Each structure stands twice: as C-alpha cells, then as structure tokens.
Structure 1
Amino acid sequence: MTPDLHRLSATDLARGLQSRSLSAEAVARACLARVAERDGELHAWVHVDEAQVLAQARALDQGPVRGLLHGLPIGVKDVFDTHDMPTQYGSPIYAGHRPSADAAPVALAREAGALMLGKTATTEFSTFQASPTRNPRNLKHTPGGSSSGSCAAVGDHMVPLAFGAQTAASIIRPAAYCGVVGYKPTHGLISGVGVKPLSHTLDTIGCVARTVDDVALFAAVLSGDKSLLDLPAIHSPLRIGLCKPHADKLLPETHAAFELAAKKLTAAGAKVVDVPLSPDHAQLTQAHIDIMAFETARALSDERLRHGDAISAGLRGVIDKGLQMDHAHYAAQLRYVEETRTTLPALYARCDVLLAPSAAGEAPLFESGTGDPTWCRLWTLLGLPCVHLPFTQGPLGLPVGLQAVGPLHSDRATLAASAWMLKQLTA
C-alpha cells in the first residue's frame, strides 16, 4: 500500500481508481489508518465502522467502475441521513438514531461509487453548540462550525472529500479555520432531502475538499451539472471586486490577506477594484438572523415540545426569539431580501467575482466557541455561490483566506475564477 494515498487530492485518487491502478481497499485503508492515528485527539468523527468500510471497498474493487466518485472515501456530516450508519444531528435527543434511508446527496454519491468512510461531527442541529472537534492545525483552537468534523477531517488528510451544509457560515467559516476549500453553491443547486432542516430559506448543501477541482468534481455528481467537470480557462483579465463588509471587525491578518491578494492577483493580470456594499445591503445581516430564528423555531418544534430539556441554552435562546417574532416582521424581512436581490446586477457591474472575508481572522481558541458567522450571513441569505480560498496564515500560524462570491447561478464561472485565483495566490 502506498503510505501517502490519504494525502492525494480527490481528482488524483479518482484517476487511479477509475483506471484500476489504485484499489478502493488500499485507499480506504490509508484513510482509516490516518483516522486511527489522529482522531483520538482531533475528534472529527462520531462514527467509523472499519469492517463495514473495508467490506464495501472490496465490493467496489470486485465490481465494475460505478461512476465519477468510484472508490473515493467521503466524510458524511452527521446531519445527513444514512441508512447504514447512525445519524444523531449533533444532539443527545437522537443518540443511536438509525434512519431507514439515505439523504438524497448521500444516495447520489453512493450511486457514483463513493465510499462513505463514516459520520463527521457537527454542532447541535448545525447551530452553535460546539462539537468536540479540534482544529487540525492547532488542537487548542476551534475548527469552526457547524461542519466542524468535515473540515477538520479533510484538513487533516483523513478523507479527500466531505459533505457540508450551511445555514449561516457552516461551510465557509470552518473551511477558513481548517485551511481547506469549502464550496457553498447557489441555494438549491444540490438537493437537501434527508438532511436535517433548520431553515428552508437558508439551508444550503455543499462540500469540502483540498482543491477547487475536487469540490467541482463532487458538486458535479451531487447537482447533476456535469459542466462543473470542465471548468473554463480564464483567458481575458478577470475582474475581481474586493468587498469588506463589517471591515471594522476584521482582524489584522484578514486585512493583510486582502493586501496580499490584491498584489498577487494584479500582478497576474487581473483587474482588481474595491466594491463597497450599497446602503441597500446594510440590514442583510440582521435579516438573516431574524429569518433563521423564525424558521429554526418551527423546524425544531418536535424537539422543543418533547425534548426541550435536551436542547442547549444557546439554541433555546434562538428558538425563543423565533417564537416571539411577529410573522409580519418575518414576512417583511423576506420581502427585503427579494428586493435586495434585484440590486445584485449593479453590485457585479464592475466585477466578475467578489473577494470577501470568510471570517474575522484566524480560528479562535476552542473555549471561546466556533467563531463569528457575520461575514457569511449576507451571502447565504442572498443565495450566492461562495468558495473559500485558503492561501496565507496569521500571526499564530493558523490558516487565513478569503471567499470568492459569484452572482446567482454562476457556479461554474465562480469555481473557474476560484481555481485561477487560488493558483495565483499560492504560487
């Protein structure tokens, strides 16, 4: 067995698995060995059944090549239902819960030949109560949330791909803290059927990997959009807008990341301009908070009514706020979002893609929580495609990057721009 198979990208592994120069069992064993080596202190996983994984890997090796993800080990965030593994939603309410069916994205990945290595840790119902997962770059720090286990597992080379889901900042922020590529597609691009719902207006299914090509491969299968397999080359100068909402709250390392990005991308031929948000966008963060609270309070009604004592104090506060909110206010916030979407063409008139903060800066200490979601809320609310690009580090040596944010339904172009920018930024 090649000892470093677990360090290969998903696209490199896929080529070997498709050609049969690599076996699914060998790749699975390499990933399982990494989990055994590191997860005792990282706590990225809540369920791994080694015998089950190896049996499924051998079955893949003995049969025909199943599809684009044939033999690729994948981490499944523990809010995605799985028929053959427990799904506990990060809550003691669902300890030992065994769904009877796979979530749609899991089923689609299996159909394409993917191997589910196990369930990755998540915060409570994808909200704020931290999982036990630690940051793979420094165990004293948080990996972020809520896709904490997925981003930590990918960042620590335990799996090449993992599922994520974002309602506020749950893919982009932990990707930033763990130094991996996180992709939150346009809202609705990937089916969320069978994923524990929190907010139907906001919940977005996405994925985590170590390269842009890898998330594009995964998303092509999950969305059915095979054009994502062939990202267009960037020929004419890319127009990049630097956008810094809530700039006064950004830490020095993120300001430095903007300066480095502007310098490197300009040198590579891009046209880099500052693109401030208009006054129309001023209340988007609060609108996101309100809409999420109103919808979460109703999505978790059974848990609230039958298991209220097992809900954390933080989540209970969100639920209480949502229950107390007047429906007219909620409806007005939804109308405000729709009106704001009509201003987006003007926002992108001067640029093809925005570069915006993914987080305030480096990952905070574990005890301080999973980090501030402020810099992702507005893009999630607007439903725009976002890709976190890891390319530098802060004063503690922890990862720092920025997120590319594209226009609605421009996922292929946004991924292509992201791949080009990340190549320049890490050169």
Structure 2
Amino acid sequence: MEKLEPAAKNPSWMPGVALGACAIRAHLESRAFDTKTLISSLLEKIRQHEPVTQAWEWLDEAQAISSARDRDTQYAASLARPLEGIPFGIKDIIETQGVPTRMGSPLFADYVPEESAPVIRALEDAGAIILGKTVTTEFATQCPGKTRNPWNQAYSPGGSSSGSAAAVAAGFVPAALGTQTRGSTIRPAAFCGVVGYKPTLGAISTSGIFPTSVTLDHVGIFARSVEDISLISSVCVPDSNALAPAPGKPPILAFVKSPYWSRAEPPQRRCIEAALQSFTAAGAQVKHVELPPAFDGALNAINQIQRFELFQLHGNRLEDWRPALSRQFLDYMESGRRITVPQYREALAYRDKLIGMYDDIISPFSAVVTPPANGEAPEGLTTTGDATFCVIWTLCGAPAISLPAGRGPHGLPLGIQLVGHRHYDGSLLQTALWCEAVLQRSQCIY
C-alpha cells in the first residue's frame, strides 16, 4: 500500500489544509469560484488520496458534477439557501433516496432507500450537495471498517463514524454527518483533528437511520470549525435561533475528570491541563468538579441499555443474518439476549437519576471540560478506540463538542470535549467558539 509522506513534508496533504463550509459559502457568493470548480477540485483530491484513506463507501463522480452544474445554472435564484453548494459526506447508516445505504454490512449491499431520512431532506432543502456515503463500522457498532486515519494510515480514525471524520480531516468534504450512541462522533473527531458535535438527544431526528438504541442514538455533525457547525445546525435543528453563536464573555468552566481519569494517557492529560491554563489566562473561570459516586455506574448502565435495545430491535433477524455477521457483532447481539427486563428497567431508572444530577451539577457553569478520548488514535484497524470518556454525557443526552487541542507524541491529534446544558445547544456553541479561538493560539505537541 502507498505510504503517505509525513505531514510536515507534504503540506498539500496535511489534514486541516482545506476550506470549511462558511468559507466555501463566502467564496461561492462572491463568485471566487463556482460549484462545479469546487466539486471538481474535491473529486481530484479524493482520487489522489482515497486509495489510502478509504473514507467512502459510495461515491458517484458523474452525479456530483451534474448536481454542481445544476447549482451553478440556478445559483442566483438560490442564494438565500444557507448551505447552497456545500458538499457533505453522509454516514452509511443514514437513508438517502436512490443511493446505496449498506450499514457497514454485506447484508445491505443492494439496499437502495426510496426515501431520504428527514435530516438528509433538511440538508438538501437548504442547498447541500450529498457527495457520497461514508464508511461506518458494522451496523454502527464495534467491528471496524476499512477507513484509515488521514494523519497516519497505520492508525484508526475512530468509529463508528469512521469515514465521516476521516473525509472531513482529509479535506474531501467540508462537513459530514455521523451518529453517536456512545462515542461515535466525539471520539473520531478527536482522533482525526476536526470538530465533532453531538446535539442534545432528540434535537435532530433519527428517523430513517439504522437504529441501535432507541434511548441513546444521536445524530452528529463533523466540520472544520465551530462556526461551520453552527451554520449546519441552524438547518438540522428546528430551533435554529438558539444555535447562532455570538462572541461572548469568557465562560465559567467545570473541569471534570470523571471516574475514568485513570484511562487517560499522559499526553491527553497534559493536553487538557494546558487547555485549562490557556482558558484561565484568557479570562475564563475554571473550577475542578468531582462527580458524585453515583456516576461510577454509568458504563455498566449504558452497556445494559444499548445491548438490550439492540437485541430487541434486531434479535428476530439474528438467525437469518448470522452467516454474514462478524463474530464481534454476533457476540455483541448475543450479550443483549442475556439482559433481563428488570435489569434494563433498572438501568433506565439509573439514567433518569443521573440526568437530574447532571442538570444540577452543570447549572452554575457554561460547560464541562473533559477528555473526548483516552489519547491519540490507537494503532491498527482492529479497534476504533475507547469510548469511555463519552459515556456519561451520552447517557445523559447532553450536547457535546470535541475541539482540536494539539498533537500527541506520534504526531496525531488530541482534543478536548465540552459538554453543555441539555436543550441549550446554542449556549454550548457560544462557549465552544470562545474556547476554539483560545486553543488555536496555543496548540502544541504534548
């Protein structure tokens, strides 16, 4: 397989050297370039680097160019649409009309939906161009796909939204959709050095998306900046007025190690600590907050809920599917069979208790600061990494965002995670915008 040059020796390939959604929008409005030129440029980058990155499950170049030509013909009449001409990658568990949606499994190799998920329709109504479908792990769970980390092909991009994170990091698209049931947006965003956003549970409809947990499934967004995330969220989330970040005063931040701090590798710990020092120097108030012991059971609860619901959703198809399933996914499904209804109900009640406690804990603060992952991306493609640092916040349904915050000893990205108040996503984006500006002035190798 072709070996990439180190980023420092090949700056044209270095992840991060690409325009974001807002910048593209401005260039299209000023006619600095047209949509066909934009799409052609992206397709050329994909041709050069997709054989190594392997972010795409489906990509139709001819259709993409045709869509771009149509946009250029009608552009003057469609300037009011907020995402006009912006290309997107879509995680391949999200149904898209007329486009193969394969769920990361040969079982769905020939499945072509007749209707798009509501979130896809919202993007297209706003003018977005669906460039292609991005690789997912098998049924958005544990078994990794073919995608590699754009920073170094020997490392994982994270998962389960592997292709979406990698496609944005590689500059193939300025934005992509993913999902998160545990850590499938926040973690790959951190591993690939892009911004990953998981809104409050239910803020974006999961209708038309392969379900793994009716209690925990979220839609996620990958982009190059918080400003880009805000633009996209204004389309995807019905309450758009609450999602426009504006310059604000320095935030009040709660630094939460969580019960899993021992899993954080030293470079990740130093990255978080350096970010907090930078925030304090820039005027933020930072307080170290210890979670009550009740939160220690979050990992067990999310395991019980996710596995039980996955089996309830798809267990009746298990025997028909069995020959095509990986051993890893099969074992995961079978574990859900062994969880009893009383155990499941107990886990749901525990979750409700944590949500109330979380709302009380965060009430004096703008956001929680905590790791998005235990460190740099893991080497190899046998795992997508440890999602433990996302568990509490996903279980509580709180909005969360991962911001690039530096590089680790292997030259791979490190990030920080900000977690906000449930149903106040706009406030979290305001805080993230402030933190992003500080981080961009202070990133370094940890």
TM tier relative to shorter chain: over 0.9
Give the aligned partner of residue 175 of structure 1.
189
Q: Hey, what does 2:8 align to over in structure 1?
A: none
Partner of residue 5, structure 2: none
Amino acid at match of 1:381: L
1:59 to 54, 62, 70: 70
**SS state at 1:82 partner:** coil
Deviation at 1:34, TM superposition (A): 1.0
For structure 1, the 5+ residue unaligned runs are none
Q: Which residue of 2 aligns with 1:31?
A: 42
1:18 and 1:70 in contact (8 A); partners too: no
Which residue does 2:253 correspond to in 1? 240
Which deviations, in whole Å up to 9, do the C-alpha atoms of 1:56-98 show, x marking residues without a partner? 1111111221611100010011001111211000011111211
Structure 1 residues 287 and 41: alpha-carbon distance in aligned structure 2, compared to 1, 3 A threshold: same
Relative to structure 1, is the Cα distance of residues 27 and 129 closer, same or farther in structure 2, using a 3 angstrom cutoff?
same
Which residue pairs with 1:139 in the alignment? 153
Asked whether the equivalents of residues 178 and 185 of structure 2 are also in contact (C-alpha less than 8 Å), the reply is yes
In structure 1, the partner of 2:436 is 422
Counterpart code for 1:27: L
Tell me how far apart the structure 1 counterparts of residues 207 and 36 of structure 2 sit (CA, whole Å). 30
Q: Which residue of 2 aligns with 1:159?
A: 173
Tell me, yes or no, if structure 1 residue 335 matches structure 2 residue 346: no
Are 1:296 and 2:310 an aligned pair? yes
- Residue type of the alignment partner of 2:91: K
Match of 1:217 among 212, 223, 231: 231
Superposed CA offset, 1:142-190 (max 9, x none): 0000010000000011100000100111000000100000000000000
Deviation at 1:229, TM superposition (A): 5.7
**Offset from partner CA, 1:316-339 (integer Å, 9 cap, x none):** 122111111110110111011111
The CA RMSD measured in Å over matched residues stands at 1.6
Q: Is the 8 A contact 1:87 1:98 kept in 2?
A: yes
Kindly provide the amino acid, as one letter, of the partner of residue 251 in structure 2.
L
1:22 shift after superposition: 3.1
Question: Could you say if the C-alpha distance between residues 323 and 30 of structure 1 is closer, same or farther in structure 2, counting changes exceeding 3 Å?
Answer: same
* Aligned length, in residue pairs: 424
Moved more, 32-41 or 315-324: 315-324
Q: Distance in 2 between matches of 1:212 and 1:254?
A: 21
1:314 aligns with 2:325: no
Contact 1:216 1:228 in 2 (8 A): no
Q: Distance in 1 between matches of 2:410 and 2:317?
A: 40
Q: Tell me the distance in 2 between the aligned counterparts of 1:20 and 1:179.
A: 30
Give the CA deviation at 1:222: 0.8
1:46 aligned partner: 57
1:355 aligns with one of 353, 369, 374: 369
**Aligned partners of 1:31 and 1:310: how far apart in 2?**
34
Where does residue 300 of structure 2 map in the other structure?
286
Conserved 8 A contact 2:212-2:310 = yes
| Cα distance between partner residues in 2 of 1:89 and 1:303 | 15
2:27 is the alignment partner of 1:13: no
| 3-state DSSP of counterpart to 1:207 | strand
**Alignment partner, residue 81 of structure 1:** 95
**Which amino acid letter does the alignment assign opposite residue 65 of structure 1?**
S
Could you tell me the TM-score, scaled by structure 1's length? 0.96
Aligned to 1:197: 211
2:399 to 380, 385, 408: 385
Distance 2:352 2:395 in 1: 10
The alignment partner of 1:282 has SS state of helix
**Local SS of the residue matching 1:351:** coil
Counterparts of 1:362-401 in structure 2 under 5 Å?
362-401=376-415
TM-score normalized by the length of structure 2: 0.92
Question: Is the Cα contact below 8 Å between 2:231 and 2:244 reproduced in 1?
Answer: no
Identity fraction in percent: 36
- Within a 5 Å distance, the mapping from 1:86-101 to structure 2 comes to 86-101=100-115
User: How far off its partner does 1:387 sit?
Assistant: 0.3
8 Å Cα contact 1:18-1:65 kept in structure 2: no
State the match for 1:405 in structure 2: 419
Kindly state the Cα deviation for residue 20 of structure 1 after the two structures are TM-superposed.
4.1
Residue type of the alignment partner of 1:372: D
Contact 2:144/2:382, CA 8 A, preserved across alignment: no
Give the superposition deviation at 1:230. 2.8
- Counterpart mapping for 1:227-266 below 5 A: 227=241, 230-235=244-249, 237-245=250-258, 246-266=260-280
- The one-letter code of the counterpart of 1:382 is C
Evaluate the alpha carbon distance shift between residue 41 and residue 228 of structure 1 in structure 2; reply closer, same or farther with a 3 A threshold.
Answer: farther
Instruction: Mark the CA change 1:401 to 1:26 in structure 2 (over 3 Å): closer, same or farther.
Output: same
How big is the shift at 1:219? 1.2
Q: Is the 8 A contact 1:240 1:354 kept in 2?
A: yes
Structure 2 CA distance for partners of 1:248 and 1:179, relative to 1, 3 Å: same
- Inter-partner Cα distance in structure 2 for 1:251 and 1:192: 34
CA contact (8 A) 2:199 2:218 kept: yes
CA distance in 1, matches of 2:201, 2:315: 24
Closer, same or farther: CA 367–52 of 1 in aligned 2, 3 Å: closer
Ranges in structure 2 where 5+ consecutive residues have no aligned partner: 1-11, 442-446
Tell me the distance in 2 between the aligned counterparts of 1:36 and 1:300. Answer: 37
Q: Structure 1 residue 19: deviation in Å?
A: 4.5
Counterpart-to-counterpart distance in 2, 1:421 and 1:79: 32
